[in-house]
Amino acid sequence: MRRILLPVATLAVAAGAIGFAGAGTANASGPCGAGHFCAYRANDYVGELIDRPIHPSDGDVNVLDNATNSVINHTPYDICGVDGAGFDQTILSVPPAPASGSHRTQIGSLFNKIDWFYARDVARGCDT
Ligand SMILES: [Ca+2]
């Protein structure tokens, strides 16, 4: 269990740093619809994979496997990204806007393993 949890914590810190760095760019608001969560194939919100509202009652919301490289969260929920390879592991947590990290201009090679997303109330948060 320790061998699994340590890399997840490390990746979460890296994602937060990336999201914070991108929050001040001219493209910070991105193209994502009001109230929607959006995932993109490429960095900087290029190559839309999904653009839709997500609610915690929706369960798993599939995207093309191993393709997500940037995301925008305009929902009021934490959006959680899962890598389903071998076993389900939440590898990305995206807070609702306007919190720092709600827009990730690039997730990077460590994160483009996401196969689906789910939403959680902020008080509960993503699985770790
Ligand atoms: Ca995967």
Q: Where are the domains of the chain?
A: 2-120
**Residue 108 alpha carbon to ligand 1 centre in Å:** 14
Helix (H, G, I), strand (E, B) or coil at 41: strand
Distance, CA 26 to ligand 1 centroid (Å)? 31
Give residue 85 CA to ligand 1 midpoint distance, Å: 5
Tell me the pLDDT tens digit for each residue of 110-123.
788 999 999 999 99
Question: How far does residue 67's CA lie from ligand 1's centre (Å)?
Answer: 9
Under 8 Å between Cβ of 79 and 104: no
DSSP letters, 54-92, are --GGG--EE--TT---EEEE-SSSEEEEEE-SSS-EEEE
Q: How far is the CA of 23 from the centre of ligand 1 (A)?
A: 26
For residue range 22-51, list pLDDT tens digits in order.
333 333 456 899 999 999 999 999 999 999
Ligand 1 centroid to residue 31 C-alpha, Å? 25
2-120 has which fold? Gamma-B Crystallin; domain 1 (2.60.20)
Radius of gyration of the chain (CA): 13
Write the pLDDT tens digit of every residue in 63-98: 999 999 999 999 999 999 999 988 999 999 999 999
